[in-house]
């Protein structure tokens, strides 16, 4: 936690005492994330992951000092835009990073293009985001990456009649469209598609509608932070007892909230790019260090932050410390590395992430709920772009 604050204080002192010479030796990253408001859990995860990466790798890269300037969007995309503008104009950042939701990533895109500054999307998941500026790269995920795979899983497991239930904004539309396309192409049917308001949703009336339709399964997308409320209301309405299965991208069984979801979540099958239970030496080390520093589990948003820092560090090494947008984005294209989630790379064509997608089932391990991975799809590109 202290790392970012110290970095910001150091920046101020440095600017005052050494002026322009010092500024040249510093690469500034504007981290625009929600520390308060509806997406605060994502900001908390990203901040912790950025701090862990810097604690492990230091703050000097290619002869440059890395300064992270954290700004709280308060979960309001207009704030993200204003803060990004200030960071470009006043702080002269080389990189804008973070962006807890799609609308925040989208409103910053024209600023990144105009200022020729890299915009590194660490959390948002709508497919089209990377097309909004040639300076955008993404270390999070896209909703179609997981939704297409869980559609195939549904078909193979005799779930033919599905109700979809998604948050009513861009990533929800992406999830629903890609899932429905794949399901219907394979002979399945969406018998009802339900949209839930993004802000403070009460799922109960929508769950009643879903139950009345008597589907084989309910395909759900809610953004990180809402899964526990959803699962609680799902169990309260008795949908688990009625034999309705929950499937979806893994946002609903977010590791951040999973430990408090209760046994109604047991058996939920999702497709996603990260589980705290991912079985690799690197992830074991990551989960241990992260949990020790923060007292909470890393979730799928955290790896977007951790890998985002890695991408910045490695790109700077490749450019020999040059941090202009053109050099940095060129260096990021095609970069490959091992993440706590498994092997990942940045697609040189689209600047989007290519990663493994895992099918997982919620199980208890040593009395704790985990998304236990049981099938892997290697090197999945964003299907949202492939189809265009």
Q: Closer CB to ligand PHB, residue 30 or residue 223?
A: 223
When the beta carbons of 73 and 126 are compared against ligand PHB, the nearer one is 126
> Smaller CB distance to ligand PHB: residue 27 or 31?
31
Q: Which is nearer to ligand PHB, 303 or 331 (CB)?
A: 303
CB of 26 to ligand PHB, least distance (A): 30
Residue 111 makes CB contacts below 8 A (sequence gap 6+) with 81, 84, 85, 88, 96, 117
**At its nearest, how many Å lie between ligand PHB and the CB of residue 172?**
8
| In the complex, least distance from residue 348 CB atom to ligand PHB, rounded to whole angstroms | 23
Please answer whether residues 42 and 123 qualify as being in contact, where contact means their C-beta atoms are separated by less than 8 angstroms: yes
What is the spatial distance between Cα 124 and Cα 99, in angstroms, rounded to a whole number? 6
Q: Which of 126, 191, 182, 117 is nearest to 156 (CA)?
A: 182
* Beta-bridge partners for 238: none
Residue 339, phi-psi category: left (phi > 0), alpha (psi -120 to 50), beta (remainder)? beta
Nearer residue to ligand PHB within complex by CB, 147 or 283: 147
As a whole number of angstroms, the distance between CA 181 and CA 188 comes to 10
Binding site for ligand PHB (CB under 6 A): 101-102, 124-126, 171, 223-224, 251
Phi, psi at 350, each rounded to 5°: -110, -10
Could you tell me the smallest distance in angstroms from the CB atom of residue 143 to ligand PHB?
7
Residues 123 and 105: their CA atoms lie apart, in Å, by 9
- The least CB distance from residue 171 to ligand PHB, in Å, is 4
């Amino acid at each position: 936690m202290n790392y970012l604050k110290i970095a910001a204080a150091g920046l101020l002192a440095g600017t005052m005492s050494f002026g322009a010479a010092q500024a040249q030796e510093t690469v500034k990253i504007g981290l625009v994330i929600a520390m308060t408001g509806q997406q605060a859990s994502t900001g908390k995860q990203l901040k912790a992951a950025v701090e862990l990466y810097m604690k492990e790798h230091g703050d000097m890269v290619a002869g440059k000092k890395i300064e992270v300037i954290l700004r709280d969007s308060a979960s309001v995309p207009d704030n993200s835009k204003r803060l990004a503008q200030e960071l470009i104009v006043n702080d002269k950042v080389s990189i804008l990073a973070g962006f807890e939701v799609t609308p925040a990533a989208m409103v910053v895109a024209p600023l990144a293009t105009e200022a020729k500054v890299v915009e590194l999307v660490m959390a948002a998941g709508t497919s089209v985001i990377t097309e909004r500026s040639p300076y955008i790269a993404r270390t999070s995920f896209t909703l179609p990456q997981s939704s297409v795979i869980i559609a195939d899983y549904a078909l193979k497991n005799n779930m033919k009649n599905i109700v979809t239930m998604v948050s009513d904004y861009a990533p929800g539309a992406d999830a629903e469209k890609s899932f429905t396309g794949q399901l219907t192409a394979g002979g399945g049917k969406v018998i009802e598609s339900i949209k839930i308001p993004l802000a403070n949703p009460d799922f109960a009336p929508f769950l009643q509608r879903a139950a009345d339709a008597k589907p084989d399964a309910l395909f759900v997308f809610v953004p990180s932070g809402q899964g526990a409320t959803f699962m609680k209301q799902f169990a309260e309405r008795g949908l688990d007892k009625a034999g309705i299965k929950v499937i979806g991208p893994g946002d609903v069984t977010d590791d951040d909230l999973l430990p408090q979801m209760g046994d109604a979540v047991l058996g939920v099958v999702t497709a996603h790019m990260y589980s705290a239970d991912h079985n690799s030496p690197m992830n074991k080390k990551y989960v241990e260090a992260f949990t020790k520093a923060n007292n909470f589990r890393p979730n799928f948003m955290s790896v977007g932050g951790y890998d985002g820092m890695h991408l910045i560090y490695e790109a700077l090494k490749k450019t020999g410390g040059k941090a202009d947008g053109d050099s940095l984005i060129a260096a990021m294209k095609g970069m490959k590395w091992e993440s706590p989630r498994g092997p990942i790379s940045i697609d040189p064509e689209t600047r989007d992430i290519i990663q493994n997608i895992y099918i997982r089932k919620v199980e208890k391990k040593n009395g704790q709920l985990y998304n236990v991975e049981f099938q892997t799809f290697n090197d999945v590109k964003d299907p949202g772009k492939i189809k265009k």
